[in-house]
């Protein structure tokens, strides 16, 4: 293994090269750009053999990948925020067509107001499109997860597209040493093999034509079933990767010091590494706190959450996105998973880190201490660390 110092974005580029992506199509958007710039370097230096299509929009980037996948070529793209929102319609096409596309997402807040900093609204808004969603907490995990994503997406029983998320700037533009696995080992893990369920000039078929009410529902059910079954495949792909490369990430919902925890905080993305530090600190002070990280949001780890619920008094959810009109996006999902669970811990939703507001150790310490005090009947939702402009900002009279 070779250690290379790289950003989270370069980890995406290296992974797409290691995966031998045959078609790459992308459109620039901050903070995604360095992924495709690096791929352009790989292609021009001859290190990467790929059809790199410099499209005129994210929408076309997604369609190029969908059409390439229809012929059985391995494809890759990456985007952020507005670019992902522009793709929305085609995300359904990709999943409905069972196109195993891998897309890197650099989570960035959506406009207005313009923001280039991180939150998860962009990808959370794609929840129901039929894409598998991973959220990473380190550059190493980004590289490893892109490779795992191909393993899952191209599984004959799954055949679904996968998004691999990283937080803008915290990962995309921050460097760390990343183990780059040898090409031969990656080839053995995800061999490049054309699927039989693609358009074939020798056996003309049609992909995507319309269906009446007599069969449309069954077709969608088959897609839904593939998404359900991907849970198992995601865990297997992670374990297999661990055996081959010495790193695995604990499946859909890795936990940290939860065994005897009184309260558990549920985080997603880079806030998770900060939270682990805070857990260690609070444990030293004798407070029984733990952490669970939403590594995979779709398919949703409902069984893992129900298991977690059976042993804790309260679950706090740190939501870096907000569903207008109700609650934080993860909170509603976690609450839904507890409906079937026998034990129902108290819950509280902490909306924070929106639009790139730092989630510092102090912020998370405050949240843990609040969670430890939560009692029945308390407010279940709070925008944490909200500044009060009417009090703090003095207008010129």
Partner 1 sequence: MPRFSIPEQELVYSGHVACPGCGGGLAIRYMLKALGPRTIVSIPACCWAITSGPFPRTALKVPTLDTAFETTGASISGLRAALDALGMKDITVVGYAGDGGTADIGIQALSGMIERNTDAIYFMYDNEAYMNTGIQRSSATPFGAWTTTTPADMDGTWKTEPKKSMMAIVVAHKIPYAATVSIGFPEDFVRKVERAKSIKGSRFIHAFCPCPPGWKYSPENTIKLAKLGVNTNVFPLYEVENGVYKITMKPSKPRPVKEYLGTQGRFKHLTDEMIAQIQERTDKTWNNLLALEGFSKEHPYCGL
Q: Which residues bind partner 1 (CB under 8 A)?
A: 22-23, 25, 50-51, 53-57, 59-61, 63-73, 75, 89-90, 93, 194, 199-201, 204-212, 215
Q: How far apart are CA 71 and CA 95, in angstroms?
A: 15
If the CB atoms of residues 33 and 60 are measured against partner 1, the closer one turns out to be 60
Q: How far apart are CA 346 and CA 315, in angstroms?
A: 6
Measured in Å, how far apart are the chain's first and last C-alpha atoms? Answer: 64
Closest separation between CB of residue 197 and partner 1, Å?
Answer: 13
Other CB atoms within 10 Å distance of the CB of residue 62: 31
If the CB atoms of residues 69 and 292 are measured against partner 1, the closer one turns out to be 69
Taking CA atoms, 284 is separated from 275, 277, 278, in Å, by 14, 11, 10
Closest separation between CB of residue 15 and partner 1, Å?
Answer: 18
If the CB atoms of residues 71 and 175 are measured against partner 1, the closer one turns out to be 71
Q: Which residue has the tokens 């409905």?
A: 96
If the CB atoms of residues 203 and 284 are measured against partner 1, the closer one turns out to be 203
Closest separation between CB of residue 24 and partner 1, Å?
Answer: 9
If the CB atoms of residues 89 and 157 are measured against partner 1, the closer one turns out to be 89
If the CB atoms of residues 26 and 168 are measured against partner 1, the closer one turns out to be 26
Closest separation between CB of residue 206 and partner 1, Å?
Answer: 4
Closest separation between CB of residue 200 and partner 1, Å?
Answer: 7
99 near 208, Cβ under 8 Å? no
If the CB atoms of residues 191 and 389 are measured against partner 1, the closer one turns out to be 191
Closest separation between CB of residue 75 and partner 1, Å?
Answer: 8
Q: How far apart are CA 237 and CA 154, in angstroms?
A: 11
Q: Quick one: which of 344, 262, 257, 261 has its CA closest to 309?
A: 344
Taking CA atoms, 19 is separated from 89, 95, 152, 310, in Å, by 27, 20, 13, 40
Closest separation between CB of residue 33 and partner 1, Å?
Answer: 18
24 near 69, Cβ under 8 Å? no
Q: How far apart are CA 324 and CA 244, in angstroms?
A: 43
Q: Quick one: which of 100, 75, 165, 70 has its CA closest to 127?
A: 165
């Amino acid at each position: 293994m070779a250690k290379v110092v790289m950003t989270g974005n370069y980890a995406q580029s290296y992974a797409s090269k290691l995966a031998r992506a045959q078609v790459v199509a992308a459109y620039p958007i901050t903070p995604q750009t360095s992924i495709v710039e690096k791929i352009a370097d790989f292609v021009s230096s001859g290190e990467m053999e790929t059809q790199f299509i410099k499209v005129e929009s994210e929408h076309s980037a997604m369609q190029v990948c969908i059409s390439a996948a229809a012929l059985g070529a391995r494809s890759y793209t990456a985007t952020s925020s507005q670019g992902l929102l522009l793709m929305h319609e085609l995300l359904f096409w990709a999943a409905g067509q069972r196109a195993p596309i891998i897309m890197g997402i650099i989570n960035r807040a959506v406009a207005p107001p313009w923001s280039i900093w991180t939150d998860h609204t962009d990808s959370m808004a794609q929840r129901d499109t039929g894409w598998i969603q991973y959220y990473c907490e380190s550059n190493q995990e980004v590289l490893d997860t892109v490779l795992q994503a191909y393993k899952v997406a191209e599984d004959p029983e799954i055949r679904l597209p996968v998004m691999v998320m990283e937080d803008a700037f915290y990962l995309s533009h921050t460097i760390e040493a990343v183990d780059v696995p040898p090409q031969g080992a990656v080839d053995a893990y995800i061999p490049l093999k054309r699927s039989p369920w693609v358009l074939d000039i020798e056996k003309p078929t049609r992909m995507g034509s319309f269906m009446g009410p007599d069969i449309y529902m069954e077709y969608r059910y088959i897609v839904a079933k593939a998404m359900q079954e991907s849970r198992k495949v995601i865990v297997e792909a992670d374990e297999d990767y661990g055996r081959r490369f010495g790193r695995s990430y604990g499946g859909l919902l890795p936990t940290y010091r939860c065994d005897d925890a009184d309260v558990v905080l549920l985080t997603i993305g880079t806030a998770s590494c900060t939270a682990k530090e805070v857990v260690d600190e609070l444990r030293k002070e004798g407070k029984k706190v733990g952490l669970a990280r939403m590594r995979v949001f779709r398919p949703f780890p409902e069984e893992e959450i129900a298991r977690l619920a059976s042993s804790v008094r309260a679950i706090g959810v740190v939501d870096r996105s907000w569903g207008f009109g109700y609650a934080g996006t993860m909170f509603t999902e976690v609450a839904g998973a507890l409906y079937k669970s026998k034990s129902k811990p108290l819950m509280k939703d902490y909306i924070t880190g929106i639009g790139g507001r730092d989630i510092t150790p102090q912020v998370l310490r405050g949240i843990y201490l609040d969670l430890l005090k939560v009692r029945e009947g308390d407010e279940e939702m709070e925008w944490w660390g909200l500044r009060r402009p009417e009090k703090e900002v003095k207008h010129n009279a």
